[in-house]
Amino acid sequence: RSAEVKGVGVASFRLAPVSVRMKAGRGEQYDYLVVGAGFAGGVLAERLANGLGKRVLIVDKRDHVGGNTFDYLDEAGILVHKYGPHIFHTNSTEVVKYLSKFTQWREYEHRVLAEVDGKLLPIPINLDTINRMYGLELDAAGMQRFLAERTETATSIRTSEDICVSRIGRELYEKFFRNYTRKQWGLDPSELDASVAGRIPVRFDRDDRYFTDTFQAMPSLGYTKMFEKMLDSPRITVRTSTNYADVVKEHPGIKTIFTGPVDEFFDYRFGPLPYRSLEFRHETFDEEVRQPVGVVNYPNEHAYTRVTEFKYLTGQTAAKTSVVFEYPQAEGDPYYPIPRPENAALYARYKELADAEKNVHFVGRLATYKYYNMDQVVAQALVTFRKIREAEFPAVEI
Ligand code: FAD
Ligand code: UDP
């Protein structure tokens, strides 16, 4: 079954199975081992192979490339993201220019509604959110006054609670942020860095886009196709379903890019770094459209935090529709580093060990314990590549 995906320069497509190439036999010599085939590993494998002519072995313990961005056609022929919605947005022209070598793009501006008091209201909170919630007709200045009467001034803004109550006041904080955050992180916002809820701005206009970055688009054929192109080089060997621990024995001392969890690399020497996990429940419905926008957030009701309907993201047309429900949990694959002071302190101890590993570069969301978006990981990988290139080819002083 192939389903139509409308996008830049694309009429319809069918995803081939993820290719697992084993061109090089065991015992083959490589210059670099890259652990993890997500954005961090994928970009570095590509750059080392095509930018420096290195022979690269890239492994991933999962049975596919793409890391958390992996997408595939489900049984109904709908392109879905296995590990939850991945919406690409960035202000970096360098990152766009780089990724555009491997994909065309379909413009997509993401919109999210939150179910609050039985209504579906725009999040980030904007003028319409306030007006619809309270039955008002405020303009921007009216909204400023409305919030000024409700916000609390804090001497310092350390936590996600602090940032919310200083921006929107306690009532809106409790309705839109407190319970969502408690579900998502298993912690109260007062126990999380301000940077977490600080990702979501407050708007005094009617802009209901989730992001305002200059570039917002999805890879036309999906992320997996983009990764397949990125890794398609005679100098790159991809081995999926392969764990670092098994492969490193075959290549002792090899220069390595490690993009898995940093605490795992060091055998949890200082104890495990906390990561938050999720369970993704995918479901297909026999109807064309399920919800009014790509994502609906459920701050208060239900055990899940949000529901994503993929057709909005991909532009696909089909008689059925597929969605994913996200259920946060403590155990399971590590998805989110948890930004709070004690975790940063524990990470700092691992970072010291990582910095001392001269043959290993630690890159990406898990290996540097940073709540990074995709574009930030790509940028970090490109910076790492430049450092490697400078170390291998030091500038000659004249
Ligand atoms: P990953 O993609 O996690 O890749 C690391 C890889 O290493 C994994 O495939 C793993 O299997 C492999 N690995 C780990 N340990 C080993 C080992 N020992 N041996 C072999 N392989 C190993 N970002 C956005 O910009 N926009 C979004 O909308 C967005 N939505 C998100 C939604 C969710 C639910 C999540 C969890 C993240 C989201 N992100 C989003 C963030 C995005 O997923 C990351 O920034 C990016 O994918 C991180 O890339 P990475 O290479 O660092 O890590
Ligand atoms: N958040 C919230 N309510 C919402 C949306 C976000 O409380 O409706 C908080 C929550 O703590 C969440 C954080 O803001 O984890 C960041 O949200 P974002 O949508 O950026 O999370 P991600 O897409 O990375 O899961």
Q: Is the CB of 176 under 6 A from ligand 2?
A: yes
**Sheet of 105-107, strand order:** 89-90, 215-219, 105-107
Counting ligand 2 atoms within 8 A of each CB, the residue from 181, 209, 326 with the most, and so the one to mutate, is: 181
User: From its phi and psi, is residue 39 left (phi > 0), alpha (psi between -120 and 50) or beta?
Assistant: alpha
Q: Is the CB of 200 under 6 A from ligand 2?
A: yes
341 phi and psi angles, rounded to 5 deg: -55, -45
Domains identified in the chain and CATH numbers: 4-109+216-274+337-392 (3.40.50.720), 112-197 (1.10.3110), 275-329 (no CATH)
Q: Which ligand is nearest to the CA of 294?
A: 1
Instruction: State residue 394's pLDDT score.
Output: 83
Counting ligand 2 atoms within 8 A of each CB, the residue from 180, 185, 313 with the most, and so the one to mutate, is: 180
- Taking the chain (398 residues) in runs of 10, the rounded mean pLDDT of each run is 37 37 58 98 98 98 98 98 98 98 98 98 98 98 98 92 98 98 98 98 98 98 98 98 96 96 98 98 98 98 97 98 98 97 98 97 98 98 98 76
Considering only CA atoms, which of 53, 131, 103, 91 is closest in space to residue 393? Answer: 53
User: From its phi and psi, is residue 222 left (phi > 0), alpha (psi between -120 and 50) or beta?
Assistant: left
Q: Which ligand is nearest to the CA of 68?
A: 1
User: Measured in angstroms, how far is the CA atom of residue 199 from the centroid of ligand 2?
Assistant: 7
Counting ligand 1 atoms within 8 A of each CB, the residue from 47, 374, 375 with the most, and so the one to mutate, is: 374
Instruction: State residue 393's pLDDT score.
Output: 84
User: Measured in angstroms, how far is the CA atom of residue 200 from the centroid of ligand 2?
Assistant: 7
pTM, entire model: 0.94
Considering only CA atoms, which of 264, 269, 277, 380 is closest in space to residue 337? Answer: 277
Instruction: State residue 395's pLDDT score.
Output: 72
The strand pair at 336-337 and 275-285 is best described as antiparallel
Q: Which ligand is nearest to the CA of 223?
A: 1
User: Long-range pairs for 203-209 at CB < 8 Å and ≥24 separation?
Assistant: 203/124, 203/125, 203/126, 203/127, 204/126, 204/127, 204/140, 204/143, 204/144, 205/126, 205/127, 205/140, 206/126, 206/127, 206/128, 207/126, 208/111, 208/122, 208/126, 208/128, 209/109, 209/110, 209/111
